[in-house]
Amino acid sequence: MGTDSVTADGIAEVWDRVVGTQPAPSPPVVVVAALVALAVVAARRPWHVARNAVTIAHEAGHGLVALLSGRRLEGIRLHSDTSGLTVSRGRPTGIGMVLTAAAGYTAPSLLGLAGAWLLADGRVTALLWGATALLSALLLMVRNAYGVLSVVVTGGVFFLVSWFAGPEVRGAFAYGAVWFLLLGGVRPVFELQAKRRRGEAPDSDADQLARLTNAPAALWILLFHAVALCSLIGGGQWLLGL
């Protein structure tokens, strides 16, 4: 058998592994994954660390929608206090700018919803490899050392689990990650609401949207809440097989 044949067989095997379906973890594993994700989101210290992953999704949402709406993405910065900044160039007003500003707080929940849909269809490996590919693409736009470290570590974890872990571990990890996005998409909106009440976030995404659209910032926060909670309910039903 020639080298080309072996290579082709290897590529075909990897492709089948990515696009194929895998059995879902047992219901107790799915519930435990949800409880662990909830504990991480609810507890102060674990949340402070894990929130970096939500910030990555938040800023990736800004960046992706900026590109899709025809804006020029200049770069993304992720900071150790779990804040982030996405800079894009283009018209300072208009639908593209509105969609870009609105994408941040909705991105983690919508990514979680998309992940739940994949897992409901048995696409565990596709989800893990898709997340690794998205993080690799995001890495090209990160412009500070802490941001590079955060994305590399997060992407590395997804890759290592997808390539080296057994089916049970891959399934449990994938379900835990999606539960975390769905639950972790809810808390930042409440944090934003609390900061604005204390006058600590005068230039938040909601305030920028208020200036762009003349709609109250509170209305945009209500939209963020609706997306997060609807995604959690819908995605949770898919993950639980309801």
Compute the Cα dihedral for 13, 15, 18, 19 and give only its sign: negative
Structural domain contains residue 17 = no
Q: What is the pLDDT of residue 53?
A: 97
Domain around 148? 26-239
To the nearest whole percent, how much of the chain has pLDDT over 90? Answer: 86
Structure confidence at residue 205 as a pLDDT band (50, 70, 90): very high
Q: What is the pLDDT of residue 2?
A: 57
**pLDDT tens digits along 71-95:** 999 999 999 999 999 999 999 999 9
Mean pLDDT of 212-237: 97
Q: What is the pLDDT of residue 24?
A: 83
Structural domain contains residue 183 = yes
Decide if pLDDT at 220 tops 80.
Answer: yes
Q: What is the pLDDT of residue 12?
A: 59
Q: What is the pLDDT of residue 151?
A: 97
Structural domain contains residue 18 = no
Structural domain contains residue 139 = yes
Are residues 109 and 181 in contact, defined by beta-carbon separation less than 8 angstroms?
Answer: yes
Structural domain contains residue 205 = yes
Structure confidence at residue 201 as a pLDDT band (50, 70, 90): confident
Structural domain contains residue 1 = no
**pLDDT tens digits along 2-47:** 566 556 655 655 655 666 677 889 999 999 999 999 999 999 999 9
Mean pLDDT, all residues of the chain: 92
Instruction: Give 8: exposed, middle or buried? Use CB within 10 Å, 0-12, 13-18, 19+.
Output: exposed
Structural domain contains residue 15 = no
Structural domain contains residue 71 = yes
pTM of full prediction above 0.85: yes
**pLDDT tens digits along 155-200:** 999 999 999 999 999 999 999 999 999 999 999 999 999 999 998 8
| Domain count of the fold of the chain | 1
Mean pLDDT of 108-133: 96
